Structures are given as structure tokens and as C-alpha cells.
Chain A
């Protein structure tokens, strides 16, 4: 078993003036190098969990442990050095006047010497494929490009863990693909630990583990396939099965003997092809 990157135990939180807790007794773990997806409908409490993890909100009870460090007021700034978060709205997290300034912002805050900064900014921008845009101002960028810059700003800090808090929900399909690809590259190629928060189950197909939240509580946890097999239960909590799963279910209903666990379009096509050859 790989080392624990994050462990959350019995986490609860209540916003002032709200009748009930937005996060109730949430417990989960993330191992180093894993991609964990936290899913739930809008208002299910998943984004509140993200803010709690970053210490941007203070939990009512429960323990958050990042590697060996317990999150509290004394460790908060150290922990923020080790974790990065990309938020939903591409515009409202772009601080710098140009792409390079924005990527450098986090490094400046952490007092990184200038020579190192230049190297790390360049490397991070390259990793998200935005090197042509180094000197561009934000209003010349698309939403997807701004989100990639936000990701670069975090990579530059060389964190142990990245949280993507609905980072794709305001983007068009092209922007969404760009950002998902950047996440995928980070996780697979750089072995970065990633927590992605989303209401779109299409985006979790490649995750290692999926945690489902509803009304502030964790209601299911497992591999994407285990979660997809919950079927109608997901629709009850305002989520929707990925397209491939829907097609599989319909095909099974009319008697196709689908056995393999194909979750992507390509896998399903291959499985159907095999069936076709053997019919």
C-alpha cells in the first residue's frame, strides 16, 4: 500500500445561519499518486469539503491530516505550500496581469528566490502547454486556457496534492477537454496526487477512486465501475450515468451478453466487435 497523502476523519461543518450541517461526518483517504474524484450535485457539500481541506473554512469537528501533518492554525501556511487548488471561475482566480505574472504569484508569496522562480514558471507553463501565451493578458485567453494557467500556478509550487474544485464546470467542451487532459497528464505522467470535484460522472471514468456525496454525507465510495453500477440510485441524487454506461445498460436489456467492464467508448466498441465476430 502506498503512503497516505490525505486522511479526513469525521469532518463536519456548518455555515452560520444555516439550519443544518453542510458537511456531516465525512471520512475518506487519498493515497499518494492517486486520482480521487469527489462527486455530487450542486449543493451536496463537495466544494465545502475542498475549502475545509485548504483551511479556507474552519471545521466544526473532525481531523484533516496531510501526510504527517494535522491541519490547524499553526500548520496552515505550511500545508498550503504543499497543496494547491483550482477553483470554478477562471476569471476570479487570475491575479496576475499576464500569464507569467499569474504563475509566479504563488512563488512570490512563498519567497522563492527570483532565479529559481524564472525556471519554475517556465517549466510549469510548458507542462500545461501555454508557452506561447507567456506574455498574454487574461482577457485574451479562453476559459480553458485560464484554467490551465491556474493549474500551472500550482504546479510551479511543486505541491504534493492538487484539488480541482469544479474546475471544468464553466467551460465549453473544448476547454473541458483541455483541462481534463492537463489533469490526466499530471496524474499519470507526473504521478501527482489529484482530488477532482465534479458533478459530471463522465469526468471520473479514469479516476482511481470515486467518492459520492449527497446532502453533506459520503454515501458511496469505490472504483468508477463500482459507482456506475449503482445505476438509478445516482439519478435519485441528481447525477447522471456516463454515456457509455447508459448504452451498456440498454444493450444488456435487449439481450447483449456484455461481460467486460468497458467504461470508455473505445473499450465498448472493441467489446461489441468481439461479440460480432463470435456471433
Chain B
């Protein structure tokens, strides 16, 4: 669990860390859109270079980024092989028995797995430099206009931030209950199906009961502290948009135009 680096914030003070989370979120959305413009070596090269520049700006050891990729590498490899064997375009490169490998297959394989890799890199870029709370703030702010259409944006954002705050608490509690039941002879890691189901019940029932109690107490505490919805509320956290945020978004636009010109 500890080795999973995707979604793991790495504290830092780089220009990217200090960016407005809204700009980062917008950048990722735009990026996902323009990745589909790439369709030849030149365009993929432009995208890769742009992504590497973004990652360099993080000023986080590259090993952190690579570590995050490791668990997904086999999926990338699988995607590659799938395309290699399934695409029947261009010149034949190899023929081993029944298997024929075409030039188009290799190219397609590289492009598609590269696209996949880029997606993961850009999300890693976001999560390494942005705390989940910042993401929540950005979502609340960006989707703010939807309030007019009666979308409970504030409530959803608050729910998100409270869930985030309680993840470590719940993980701790899960471990505690598992240990307590293991001390009563429960085996969480083996045994026949029936026993495994029983083991899960002995964990989930206390966890649910306790979470309900938590939620109830939390709701009472929030009410006692004057919480009554988003109406008339001020915000402690302030998002500030700087010129750098605008610059970076403009650079994405520039990359998009470049891709348009270079794509075949």
C-alpha cells in the first residue's frame, strides 16, 4: 500500500506546487483533450517533451514518478502487445509460425501505449503537486456556477473533504477490528469460502456500525458549530490565480496549435 505512488502527494515548494489548483485541474482536462490530436511521431514527440517539461518543473526526484508507474507498467505492456498482434497494416516485419508482426502494429502499439503512459504521467503530475483538499477546493470553485442549476456543489465538496479527512481514521479502525477478530481465531487470509465470508462479516458489521455512529456524532458536532449549509458561509482557504497559471494554460493552447499543424 505504501509503495503506491499514484495519488500520493509529495510536499514541495516548486512553481507547480504553488500553482492555483484550478489551473492545474483545467490543464489536466485540456491535456486529456489534446492527447487525441497526436497521431504521428512528430506530434507524439511534442507531447512527450511538453509532459517531461511539466514533470521537471515539479522538482521532485524522478524516482518518485517512476515508482508510481511501476504497478501500471504491465498494463502498458499488455496494451502494446495487443496492438502489435492485432493490427494488420503496413509491411510485414517478422513471421514466426502463425504470428505475423506488421510495421503498423509496432507503430500503433507504441503510440497507444505512449498515450496511455502520458495520461498516467499527467495525473501523477497533478497528484504529486496537489493535496486532495486543494483538488476539492478547485472542484468546488470550478463547478460553482452549477449552483444556479441547483447542483449541490458546496455539499458535494464538503462531503469529499470530510471523506478524505476520515480515510486514515477508517484505515486505522479497520486494522484494529481485524486484529481484534484475529485474536478470536478469525483467519482473514485463507480458509474455505464460508469461513471467509464469516470473517468479512465480522469485520464489516462493526465497521459499519461504528461509521454510522461517527457520522451521527460528526453531524451533531457540525450543527453545534453553526453549520447550516453553504448559504452565507465564508471561506478560510483562498485560491489565488497568478500570471504563471495563465501562462501555463496558454502554453497548453500553444501545444494544441502545434499538434494541429504537425498531425497527419
**A-side interface residues toward B, CB under 8 Å?**
51, 54, 56, 77, 80-81, 84-85, 87, 89, 91-98, 100-101, 104-114, 117-118, 121, 137-139, 153-154, 157
Contact = CB atoms under 8 A, between A and B. Distances in A.
Contact of A138 (B165, B223, B235, B237): B165
A108 B234 contact: yes
Contacts of A111: 232-234
B161 A91 contact: no
Contacts of A101: 133, 236-237
B: contact size bracket = 20 to 34
Given A97-B133, A97-B165, A87 B234 contact: no
Contacts of A100: 236
Contact of B221 (A81, A87, A97, A113): A87
A35 to B, nearest CB: 20
A56 B227 CA distance: 12
Nearest to A135: B11
Contact of B236 (A87, A92, A121, A138): A121
Nearest to A57: B220
Nearest to B233: A108
Interface of B: 131-133, 161-162, 164-165, 168-169, 172, 213-214, 217-218, 220-228, 232-238
Contacts of B221: 87, 92-93, 95
Nearest to A101: B236
Nearest to A118: B236
Contact of B226 (A80, A96, A118): A80
A93 B236 contact: no
> Counting chain A CB atoms within 10 Å of each CB, which of B161, B218, B222, B236 scores highest?
B236
B226 A93 contact: no
B2 to A, nearest CB: 15
A266 B131 CA distance: 50
A265 B168 CA distance: 41
A196 B162 CA distance: 28
A89 B233 contact: no
Given A92-B218, A93-B221, A109-B226, A117 B162 contact: no
B169 A93 contact: no
A87 B165 contact: no
B224 A109 contact: no
A54 B224 contact: yes
Given A97-B165, A107-B234, A154-B225, 18 more contacts: A80-B226, A84-B225, A87-B217, A92-B221, A93-B218, A94-B165, A95-B165, A97-B131, A97-B133, A101-B133, A105-B225, A106-B226, A109-B228, A109-B233, A111-B232, A112-B234, A114-B238, A117-B236
